[in-house]
């Protein structure tokens, strides 16, 4: 069966983590979130903590080092990268790294949501220590304040304060949005309406990936 190598791209709060969790289960892919990796790194690295909590991008060299170490440890049965690449240099480094490993990107899944919706969503987001996302209105856990998956308490993320959310949106528009055209030129971009309910977004992504996989086998 052909290997699916995917990236998830979109503004903060678009639902990348929510969809990644589902797609990972559908297709049994290795899930690598640079956001989760950076939140783990900030526990011991004061520089990383300052960038993440302020809603700024962590420098490319730090993120790339952590990412490729993880990628090599995961083997070659396909992956889903959540939150990488976020800059043009990161996109170039990813292409070179895949080429060196004899692999290629299958698709870049862009989840599109307007800024006003994002601010409302992130204010209501709650996560457990392992990063599983919920929402106080749109995606409630079975038991209030407790993660369905691992039973850990749900809390608000440090960077989900209104000012920091706006800063993250600015960073997205300035630094990450420009690589969308580049991915489109590469022929790998697929767009999804992230304002639909999570289940609908998931159905759409799953159908697209099933088609891509079939086409690959023809
Ligand atoms: P990261 O963790 O990647 O943050 P982000 O891109 O800002 O994305 P989020 O995790 O906030 O949102 P999401 O799209 O996953 O949405 P979610 O599914 O949770 O990165 C954090 C930081 O790490 C960065 O700011 C940076 O400092 C650093 N970093 C990471 N990668 C980096 C890189 N490559 N280079 C440099 N620095 C890097 O959903 C949001 C909420 O909405 C949830 O409550 C959810 O339940 C709800 N929801 C989801 N889908 C729907 C829906 N369809 N309808 C209604 N509600 C929904």
Active-site residue (options: 39, 42, 86, 190) = 86
CA distances from 6 to 68, 114, 211 (A): 15, 23, 14
Q: What percent of the chain has pLDDT over 70?
A: 99
> Which pLDDT tens digit goes with each residue over 62-92?
999 999 999 888 877 899 999 999 999 999 9
Active-site residue (options: 16, 39, 42, 121) = 16
What is the rounded CA–CA span in Å between residue 121 and residue 202? 18
Q: Which two structure tokens, joined as six digits, stand for 25? A: 């289960």
Are 205 and 19 in contact, with CB atoms under 8 Å apart? yes
Q: Name the CATH code of domain 4-114+171-217 (choices 3.40.50.300, 3.50.50.60, 3.20.110.10, 2.102.10.10).
A: 3.40.50.300
User: From the alpha carbon of 200, which atom of ligand 1 is closest?
Assistant: 53
Are 189 and 108 in contact, with CB atoms under 8 Å apart? yes
Q: Which two structure tokens, joined as six digits, stand for 106? A: 């299958």
> Which pLDDT tens digit goes with each residue over 94-113?
999 999 989 999 999 999 99
Q: What percent of the chain has pLDDT over 90?
A: 85
Best of 15, 62, 145 for a ligand 1 pocket test (most atoms within 8 Å of beta carbon): 15
Domain chopping of the chain, boundaries: 4-114+171-217
Q: Rounded mean pLDDT of the chain?
A: 93
Best of 18, 53, 84, 179 for a ligand 1 pocket test (most atoms within 8 Å of beta carbon): 18
**What does the pLDDT average to over 45-65?**
95
> Which pLDDT tens digit goes with each residue over 123-150?
999 999 998 999 999 889 999 999 999 9
């Amino acid at each position: 069966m052909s290997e699916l190598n995917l990236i998830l791209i979109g503004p903060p709060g678009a639902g990348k983590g929510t969809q990644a969790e589902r797609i990972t289960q559908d297709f049994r892919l290795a899930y690598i979130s640079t956001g989760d990796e950076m939140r783990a790194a900030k526990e011991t690295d004061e520089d990383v903590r300052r960038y993440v909590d302020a809603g700024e991008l962590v420098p490319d060299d730090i993120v790339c080092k952590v990412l490729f170490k993880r990628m090599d440890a995961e083997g070659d049965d396909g992956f889903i990268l959540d939150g990488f690449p976020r800059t043009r240099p990161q996109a170039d480094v990813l292409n070179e790294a895949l080429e060196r490993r004899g692999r290629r990107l299958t698709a870049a899944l862009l989840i599109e949501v307007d800024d006003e919706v994002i601010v409302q969503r992130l204010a209501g987001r709650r996560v457990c220590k392992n990063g599983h996302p919920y929402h106080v209105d749109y995606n409630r856990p079975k038991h209030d304040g407790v993660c369905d998956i691992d039973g850990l308490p749900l809390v608000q993320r440090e960077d989900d304060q209104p000012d920091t959310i706006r800063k993250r949106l600015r960073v997205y528009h300035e630094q990450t949005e420009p690589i969308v055209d580049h991915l489109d030129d590469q022929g790998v971009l697929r767009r999804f309406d992230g304002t639909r309910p999570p289940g609908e977004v998931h159905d759409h992504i799953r159908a697209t990936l099933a088609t891509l996989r079939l086409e690959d086998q023809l």
